[in-house]
């Protein structure tokens, strides 16, 4: 059976996608860290790397997420992911309410299996 999930956030540029998903195929008593996942997907190899969520902040105009691997800030149109270990900065487009591309969907499903 394929894992079932809903995409909550989908940001991307030409080389990488960052998504937050909510698993919908887990039991009601599943650990919250198993239900919600932030994933980084390389758009050339479709390798999926989990981002280790640490904390978040929200306001009316901007969202911030802090991960072991870096920092993500975004609004309704765009975002920036700054990698912790090499300080690479990725400018991203925020695709609110857009379905994941088939290749990204397949990569996430394979990662969750």
pTM: 0.93
**pLDDT in the model for residue 34:** 93
Q: pLDDT, tens digit, for every residue of 88-108?
A: 999 999 998 788 999 999 999
Contacts of 66-74 with CB under 8 Å at 24 or more apart are: 67/38, 69/40, 72/11, 72/18, 72/38, 74/9, 74/11
């Amino acid at each position: 059976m394929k894992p079932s999930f809903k995409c909550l956030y989908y940001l991307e540029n030409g080389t990488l996608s960052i998504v937050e998903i909510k698993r919908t195929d887990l039991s009601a008593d599943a650990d919250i860290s198993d239900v919600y996942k932030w994933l980084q997907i390389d758009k050339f190899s479709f390798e999926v790397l989990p981002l280790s969520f640490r904390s978040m902040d929200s306001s009316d105009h901007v969202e911030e997420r802090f991960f072991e691997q870096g920092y993500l800030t975004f609004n309704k149109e765009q975002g920036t992911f700054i990698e912790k270990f090499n300080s690479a900065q990725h400018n991203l487009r925020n695709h609110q309410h857009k379905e994941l591309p088939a290749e990204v969907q397949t990569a996430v499903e394979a990662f969750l299996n």
